[in-house]
Amino acid sequence: MKVRFLFYKAKFEWRSFLKTRKIHLIDDAINVWTLLINLPGVVWQERSWNVKKWGKAVWQFIKECYSHVEVWLPDEYGRFYDEAESLGHFPVHAYFGTCYTSTMRDDEKGTCSRPASEVIKHPERWEYKEFDITPWQYHIGLVWMQKQVKLNKGYGFKNYGRFFGLGKIIYDRWKNICSQFTHNYAVMVFIFSMPFKIVSPRRLSRLLPGKMQRLIDA
């Protein structure tokens, strides 16, 4: 059975400073700050005598402006999307299945599940990594996520302290942020063999094995 980790790429726009687009400004802040705190480690990890290769790897990380992530499960027929007839030069995509995450978007307040068709409003900004897991792993992960949604206590603002070196001082174990939730799902389905932890979307994209794929070409 297939599951996907769906990453949203922030795109800075001046109109994000409008009060009605506050969530997009938060995306930009997460993107920039997690770039700064992770960049030194990436520069070290990608070090190589081949300076061109080294620079290319670091630049690739800089371009990965991931500010949000969701777990995407297919529908009962195993479908994630269907490409219908094109309208002009643009294909029409229908998205299926359910997305799980923790968010403040669309009036949500914490850990939630939503139809993929409601989540993917700008498909050109989404990328994903896909994994094959067993039915047993799929069931374990689904039950865990459904329980997290049911027991939701709100969005884990305090858990951003992890990105400022305050993770052990400021922390709320009963609330999630998006990348914390998706990382821990990966632990539950045995993609990771590490304990639960708080990571950024950028960091999670590097921890997950496999190649990142575009949802559609922009």
Q: What is the pLDDT of residue 85?
A: 46
Other CB atoms within 10 Å distance of the CB of residue 153 = 13
Which range of residues forms the domain containing residue 130?
Answer: 2-8+67-214
Are 155 and 109 in contact, with CB atoms under 8 Å apart? yes
By C-alpha distance, which of 157, 163, 174, 156 is closest to 199? 163
Q: What is the pLDDT of residue 43?
A: 75
- Rounded CA Rg of the chain: 18
Per-residue pLDDT tens for 45-92?
778 788 888 787 777 777 778 889 999 999 999 999 876 544 445 555
Give the predicted TM-score (pTM) of the model: 0.82
196 domain residue, yes or no: yes
23 domain residue, yes or no: no
In the chain, the number of structural domains is: 1
Q: What is the pLDDT of residue 13?
A: 52
29 domain residue, yes or no: no
18 domain residue, yes or no: no
Residues of the chain short of pLDDT 50, as ranges, are: 14-18, 21, 85-88, 218
- 116 — alpha (psi -120 to 50), left (phi > 0) or beta? alpha
Burial of 193 (0-12, 13-18, 19+ CB in 10 A): exposed
Helix (H) or strand (E) holding 52: helix 51-63
What are the two backbone dihedrals, phi and then psi, of residue 165, each rounded to the nearest 5 degrees? Answer: 75, 15
By C-alpha distance, which of 34, 52, 69 is closest to 180? 69
- Tokens standing for 200? 């950024």
DSSP state of 78: S
Q: Distance of CA 132 to CAs 1, 28, 157, 190, Å?
A: 5, 32, 32, 11
